[in-house]
Amino acid sequence: MNDDQRLRYSRHLLLDEFSEAAQDHLLASRALVIGAGGLGAPALLYLASAGVGAITVVDPDEVDLTNLQRQVVHATDRIGQPKVHSARTALAALNPGVQVEPLHQRADEALLRREVPRAQVVLDCTDNFATRQLVNRVCHEAGVPLVSASALRFDGQISVFDPRDAASPCYACLFPPDTPPEEARCALLGIFAPVVGVMGVMQAGEALKLLLQSGPDGRWHGHQSLAGRLLMLDGRNWRWTEMRARRQPDCAVCGGHEPHAPGH
């Protein structure tokens, strides 16, 4: 790191768990963020501010006035712009040392099979069940950890699915693909803005921990991720509920199948 970077990340370097090697590892890492909306917006800001050196962000939509109640990476003067380009503008202003790759398209299978193996962690910030299942399947096959969250009305939930851990369930273990829920979107049911902010910030926190645990500094190995745990938040009273989850032997994605070793 140079002197400007040491100053920028000085509050990290004051933590017992951090070293320059750990921060350098973040600077050399890549995160893939799928969705630049309510969850992706705060997640992107904290990934960039923390110094994740390369961030690929995927979203097919443009910024709309209704987004600005909660999608804090966007701004009024960028209404009508692709969300990925708006996000790149905001992240460049926050931390010009971070490389942001915007992909203004839907996260289809071809894109995911190309982009997931390039990343060391994937954040699913979408609101579509079929896309979540596809992201989970590609992450499992590529051996890349996945941080998944959702939020609607006053409720949020978050977990980590880590195919590198033989005991970790995948998303399909908790939410089988053949039993899709009734689609519910905030455009129809609403969302309390701080709830989606909390969940997106937590996604960034889990992603940073996963990146640091794979780095050269062993002091991060004692920090437990949310793999095997589903945290649920009731934003009406800020009450958390934790549910333990196990890999299901009959899971259509991970049951009886070993993931490929990551190629990085």
If one counts every other C-beta atom within 10 angstroms of the C-beta of residue 41, the result is 26
Would residue 125 show up in a list of annotated catalytic residues for this protein? no
Q: Give me 107's structure tokens.
A: 């996260």
Which pLDDT value is given to residue 183?
60
Calculate mean pLDDT across residues 8-20.
91
CA distances (Å), 45 to each of 37, 42, 105, 153, 256, in order?
A: 12, 5, 21, 23, 37
184: confidence class by pLDDT, cuts 50, 70, 90: low
If one counts every other C-beta atom within 10 angstroms of the C-beta of residue 5, the result is 16
Query: Is a pLDDT exceeding 70 seen at residue 262?
Result: no
Q: Identify which of 6, 31, 8 has the alpha carbon closest to the alpha carbon of residue 20.
A: 6
Q: Identify which of 255, 202, 212, 264 has the alpha carbon closest to the alpha carbon of residue 233.
A: 202
Q: Residues 189-242: pLDDT tens digits?
A: 789 999 999 999 999 999 999 999 887 766 677 678 899 999 999 999 999 999
Which pLDDT value is given to residue 263?
45
The topology (CATH level 3) of 3-244 is Rossmann fold (3.40.50)
Tokens 């350098």 correspond to 24
Which pLDDT value is given to residue 233?
97
Which pLDDT value is given to residue 224?
84
Which residue of the set 139, 173, 186, 254 is catalytic?
186
Q: Residues 102-158: pLDDT tens digits?
A: 999 999 999 999 999 999 999 999 988 999 999 999 999 999 999 999 999 999 999
Number of residues in the chain: 264
**Helix axes 193-213 and 40-50, enclosed angle (nearest 10):** 40
Q: Give me 135's structure tokens.
A: 């992201």
Q: Give me 147's structure tokens.
A: 């941080």
Give the residue extent of every domain in the chain: 3-244
* N- to C-terminal Cα separation, the chain: 22
Query: Is a pLDDT exceeding 80 seen at residue 182?
Result: no
Q: Give me 159's structure tokens.
A: 């977990």
Q: Residues 31-74: pLDDT tens digits?
A: 999 999 999 999 999 999 999 999 999 999 999 999 999 999 99
Query: Is a pLDDT exceeding 80 seen at residue 186?
Result: no
Q: Give me 221's structure tokens.
A: 């190995």
Mean of per-residue pLDDT scores for the chain: 92
Query: Is a pLDDT exceeding 80 seen at residue 255?
Result: yes
Which pLDDT value is given to residue 23?
93
164: confidence class by pLDDT, cuts 50, 70, 90: very high
